[in-house]
Structure formats: C-alpha cells, structure tokens
Structure 1
Amino acid sequence: MAIPKLIDEKAQTLLSLLHKDQRWLIVINADPDSMGSALALKAILSRKVHDIGIGHVNEINRPDNLAMIRYLRVPTRRLIPNLIAQYDRFALVDSQPHHHPELVKLDYSIVIDHHPLSAEKPVHAPLTDIRPKYGATCTMLTEYLQRLKIRPPKLLASALVYGIKADTQSFQRKFIDADINAFKYLSKYADHTLITRIVRSEYHLEWMRYFSRAFYNLRRIGSGLTAHLGKVQSPDILVVVADFFMRVHSISWDAVSGVFGGTLVVIFRGDGMRKDMGKFAASHFGDMGSAGGHKGAARAEVPMGALDGKDPEMFVLKKLSRGKTASVQRI
C-alpha cells in the first residue's frame, strides 16, 4: 500500500516531538475508532518515550465497546485530574478539543482526526493532522504505522480493523480508497474470531425498556424521525436507538435525545445523501452547547441549565422543527 507524501511529512513531525524522558497521555472520547487509533499511537510512542497512558472522557457502557476493551486489552482509564497530573504531554485522536468540554481543558502536542474542521474553532498543535475525507482515524494511524515500518500485532490489527468497520458501518458510510487499503492490509494480521465476538455484543438486556419508550415518543418531521427517551443510564443507548431507526424505509435522518446527568444529549443519524447531519446539529444546537459531526452521524450536548427550565423534549422538537411544531406528526 503506497504511503502518500503527506504521511511521510507528518510522521517525521511526530517523531521530532518525542523524547525518551516524556510521559504521554493519549486522550479519547471512547468508541471503536478512537480506541483503535489510541492503541496504534501508543505502539508508535512506546519505542520513543518513557511512559504512555490512554484516558477517556466519556462513560463506556455500550456492550460492543466494553467487549473491545476486554478482548483487545485496551488500557484506557477515565480522564480525571489525578490521571492528568501523571503526564507532561498530551495527544488527542479521533476528536478535536471543541468536541467535548473536558477535551478543551488540555494543551495538545498531537491532534489526529478525521472529523470535519470548524472554521470558528480551529485546532492548533505542533502536529495537527485532520483529514475529513477519511472514513476512520484508524486508517490514518495505519498509514503512520506503515510509514514507520511497524507491523501491527494481532490485537492492534484487530482493533484497527474493528475501528474502520465501525466508523464506516462496514463501508456503507462515507469512505475513500485509503480506508479500503488499510482494511485489506490489516486483515492479514487481525483475529477475525475476536472481532466477531465484539460485533455480536450489541445490547444490554436492561436497554430494552428504552426501546419501548422510544416507540411511544416517536415523532415524524418530514422525512425524519425523532424520539426523546428522558433520563438515560448512558448516552450510548441513544446511539443504539438512532442507528436502529435508520433502518426504517423512507426515513433519511433521525435525532434521538435524552438527559444524562446534567446534559441534554442529541444523537443524529442520516443517510448521507440529503442532510449533512454535522452541519444540521451545529446549526440547530451549536449556539447553546457543543454540536457537530459527520455528514451521516453527529451529536449535540447542551447543559440543562441552558434550557431555563424548558421541557427538554419540547425544546428538541422546537429546535428540529424550527418552531413549526404543527409539522411534527406523532407516529
């Protein structure tokens, strides 16, 4: 697999930032793509620096993510002040600082990501490598491994394969030739039995009640669906339900919302043909919280305090319908 000249330049920049006495923390918003990418960067740094850790900002409750951590031995820990204090250099993969309130608090030396850039919130780091055309950040890290002649061991290759598979939805979502090339290359080294185990770990039994709630609260807005699930144990259930509703015939987008802790979370999914869900999320919720993502998948998080006592379900419906709630149809 040919390595673009850009990767050669970026790889050299990365190596120039490393010193044997450094202690690096790789920060992620944990999902398959970010965890696979973090493991790859860890493999690169491990040959050059004193210590490397991985820290995640989100709750990890989705069964497939937990299975990935278990089977592929992802050594990630919750990002807390005590963990941060143990490190003197920080890297961010598969995300950008403005994507999460906790991410923006750190000063990064490395940012590697495939999400769209925001003109209003530029990213500054000695190594900034952001390529929105790529289907997965795992693809980008695979190119770094190849440029640096690091052959991925079985568990790392499996993590990278699963990260690409998850973020491209098995190549049904946006991807480019580089994603296919990386997937083919990694497949030679990956353990596909382990990957199958992870893929089959999708739902917690206790999540079934949220599906019932989603069906009860389901609304239609044009060619889209929306449902509010109230208080949820984890935002991951919103992702699962949003993915499920995209299987409905004639539906081109959906938005599933819920309250987690003190935050209103809205998960967006689209067919990738009509609406750009990243822009859609940002235009509807970006003025009140963090919002953005891809053309086919996006997320918004709004502090409950910003709602000034408004009912979160009605707040979301009014935002999505731009105040024209008469156009909202109950299913």
Structure 2
Amino acid sequence: MSKVNLDKLKTVVQSAEKPFKILITGVDPDSMGSAFALAALIEFLSGEVAGSIQVCYFGAIGHRQNKTIDNLYNLESMMMMVTDDEDFDNYHVCLVDSCTVADSRMGKHRNSFVPLIVVDHHRGIDFEVGDDQFCWIDEIGACATMLVELMQHYKFELDESDRFIYNMLAIGIYSDTDSLNSAGARDREAFNYVRGFVSEAEFVKFSQYTLPESYYMNLYYAIGRREQVGSKVLTNIGYIDPEEGDDLAMIANQLVRKDGVSMVVVWGIVGGKVRISVRNLDISISLPKWMKERFGDRAGAKMAPDGRAEGGGTIDMEFDKFWLCDDNKAEIIGIMTKKFRTLVFEPEKEAKS
C-alpha cells in the first residue's frame, strides 16, 4: 500500500465547510461503486445526512452492464448528470477513479476546480496537492479496492439500506481486473471481503449481462474494416447512436487481445462529433502524450498498474450542423479514415508535422 495517511481523510472531511460533490468522469461499475462508497463513508465520518453529498457523472449511462446496475438499484434517482452550466464553486469536489482535472470528458468543466478528495488507481495526476487535501493514488487493480480498504480502516460497515453498495464494489473490482485475472493480492482480499455481503443472484446479473444486437453489428462492422500495420490496428464503426458510444471501448478491448496487436484505435461518428477509443499494451509508448499530440486537448489516457493504457477522445467536427447529409456520409467516412491512417500509422516525426 502506498504511504498515505488514511487518517487524514477524517480530518479533511470534518474540516469541510461546504457540501460535497463526488464526480464520476467515466461511468463504469468501478467508478459508480467507488463514488457511492465514498459518499457513505463521508456521511459516516462527518455525521452529515446523505442529502448534503451529491454523486454526479459526466456523459451517459450507455453500457449494458452500467444500465443493468442503474436499473436494478434505481441509481439515476441518487446521482445526477453534470450539465455545462453547473457551478462547482459552492461544493467541495471529490474525484474517484480519476485524478485529472483536465479530463476531456468533463467538457467545459475541465480545469475549473481543484478537488478536495481524490481516490484513484491510475497514474497521471495533473494538479498540485495541498496540505488541506486528501489525495490517495495507488496503482492497483481497482479503485473499489481502495474504498474497501478505507472502509475497513475506519471500521465502517454499511447500513442495511446501503448494502447494495457492497454489490457495486464487488462487480467494480471484478470488472476492472478482467474477472480477477489481473487482480493483485489486495484486490482479491477486498473482493473476498465484500462478497461476504453480496447477493449471489445479483452478482450473476452484473457479470453475465446480455448485450444488444447493435453491439454485435458494430463489432462485425469494425472487424470488416480493420487495418493493421505492424502491431497497430485501426478501425471504425461508422455512424452510431449516442447510446452505442460505449461499444467503441468494448470493441477496442476485444481487438487488442488478438495475437500480434499492441495498440488498437477505434473511432465512430456520433452526431457532429468523432469519438475515439484506444487501447495500448506497448509500455514504451506514453499513451497520454501520444493521444494529445494527435487528437488535441479533448483527448487523454490513463495508465494501468501493469503498464497497459486506455485512452479516449472527442473531435468536434460539427458534421451535423453543416456538412453531413444522406449523399455524403460515405465520403466523410473516407476522409476521416485517411486522416486516422496518417495519425496512427505514420512515423512519429510525420505524425507531428
């Protein structure tokens, strides 16, 4: 465990003068479980009622697994989507499963706040940490593992009405460690602890969720259009609906497992934007730097403890406002494909030019 004084969290929480807002920059089981666990722990440490602690998320709940969790526990009644005009000034902002304030997924809120509390298992913190903040970053398999350890440190157990959070922590650890295949000793210990509180039937629903027909059609489309140069793979899934946006990451996760592949770039057009998902296994490449050099400030990446990296980004082309019509969809895909070939496959010096 990294050398962080876990007792400091209590001091920071009890010294707070404003309500708490816990932000989820990328909705997945690990981030949702971690956010609700942190909210419950803050309530326990501060004595505040749950209403003074908000859980908020950027983007949409699109992935079928996330929707399953959301529907089962009615999470949308307990957390709110962040809007562009939302004001963070009157809150103490907390980050879980993220340690960057310049994350492209935050849109207009990028670099607009300094978090009071950060708990994350990725590298890449991009702000200075002061004495009045609690910041714990530890490169382990899941952020949920760290929340379990914090709860154990403070000898805190969830009330019966909040026991669903144990289920979310369990599936968060399970999913973020590739079904425990990449889990370390601490991840396994935390998982075994929360499984003692978990309904087996509910856990099966989370881990064996069904996938819609659209996912398989998009996967089929991506496989048919993939190009490989060396160990890099590039493909796209064309025009997709917003609720299919998570397919990009799922397809990237599948394709990077192919023999001889170290990097996968998958892109698609959603409305007027090009969305990108990248997976990289080559630890000699700094994916955060690689992404920003090619796709600008609205792109970024996180490094996993084992050197793997996951990246994503958005390019606002405003196709839907002027360029896009039924007669030129194929041409736009062709133009974007040529540009992506240059960005992904060209040598470093040419990609920067």
- TM-score computed with the length of structure 2 as normaliser: 0.78
1:191-241: CA deviation from partner (whole Å, max 9, x where unpaired)? 232121022224222333312321221111212322112232242010111
Q: Which amino acid aligns with 1:207?
A: Y
Written as runs of structure 1 = structure 2, the 5 A alignment for 1:146-165 is 146-152=152-158, 154-165=163-174
Kindly provide the amino acid, as one letter, of the partner of residue 109 in structure 1.
L
Matches of 2:286 and 2:225 in 1, distance apart?
22
Query: Are the equivalent residues in 1 in contact too, given 2:263–2:282 (CA < 8 A)?
Result: no
CA distance in 2, matches of 1:111, 1:38: 11
Q: Which deviates more from structure 2 when the two are superposed, residues 187-196 or residues 272-281?
A: 272-281
Structure 1 unaligned segments of length 5 or more: list them: 325-331
CA deviation digits over 1:172-193, x for unaligned, max 9?
Answer: 34x4332222112111112232
What is the match of residue 228 of structure 2? Answer: 220
Q: Distance in 1 between matches of 2:7 and 2:340?
A: 44
Contact 1:284/1:320 (CA < 8 Å) preserved in 2? no
Distance 1:147 1:284, change over 3 A: same
Cα deviation for residue 5 of structure 1 reads 6.4
1:54-203 alignment runs, 5 A limit: 54-74=55-75, 75-80=78-83, 84=87, 88-95=91-98, 96-100=100-104, 101-102=106-107, 103-104=109-110, 105-118=112-125, 121-124=126-129, 126-152=132-158, 154-173=163-182, 175-203=183-211
Q: Which residue of 2 aligns with 1:327?
A: none
Q: Secondary structure at the match of 2:4?
A: helix
Cα shift at 1:38: 0.5
SS at match of 1:268: strand
- For residues 274 and 23 of structure 1, do their structure 2 counterparts lie closer, same or farther at Cα, with a shift above 3 Å needed? closer
Question: SS state of the match for residue 46, structure 1?
Answer: helix
Q: CA deviation at 1:55?
A: 0.9
What is the match of residue 248 of structure 1?
A: 258
Specify the code of the residue in structure 1 equivalent to 2:338: M
State whether residues 33 and 138 of structure 1, in contact with CA within 8 Å, keep that contact through their aligned partners in structure 2.
yes
Any gaps of 5 or more consecutive residues in structure 2? 324-331, 349-353
One-letter code of the match for 2:121?
H
Q: 1:184 to 1:130 in 2, by over 3 A?
A: same
Deviation at 1:248, TM superposition (A): 2.5
Counterpart contact for 1:158–1:192, Cα < 8 Å: no
Identity %: 19
Paired residues of 1:285 and 1:302 also in contact (CA < 8 A)? no
How far does residue 132 in structure 1 lie from its aligned partner after superposition? 4.4
> What is the distance in 2 between the residues matched to 1:320 and 1:81?
31
Q: Tell me the number of residue pairs that the alignment of Structure 1 and Structure 2 aligns.
A: 315
The answer to whether residue 36 in structure 2 is matched with residue 39 in structure 1 is yes
- Give the equivalent residue in structure 1 for 2:24: 28
Q: CA deviation at 1:165?
A: 1.1
- Residue type of the alignment partner of 1:127: Q
Deviation of 1:61 (Å): 0.9
1:133 touches 1:176 (CA, 8 Å); kept in 2?
A: no
User: What residue number does 2:279 align with?
Assistant: 269
Preserved contact between residue 56 and residue 78 of structure 1 (Cα < 8 Å): yes
Deviates more, 1:280-289 or 1:90-99: 280-289
Whether the aligned pair in 1 keeps the contact of 2:9 and 2:134 (CA below 8 Å) is: no
Runs of 4+ in 1 over 4 A off after TM superposition: 81-87, 272-277
The amino acid across from 1:145 in the alignment is M
SS in 2 for 1:8: coil
Q: What does residue 314 of structure 1 align with? A: 338
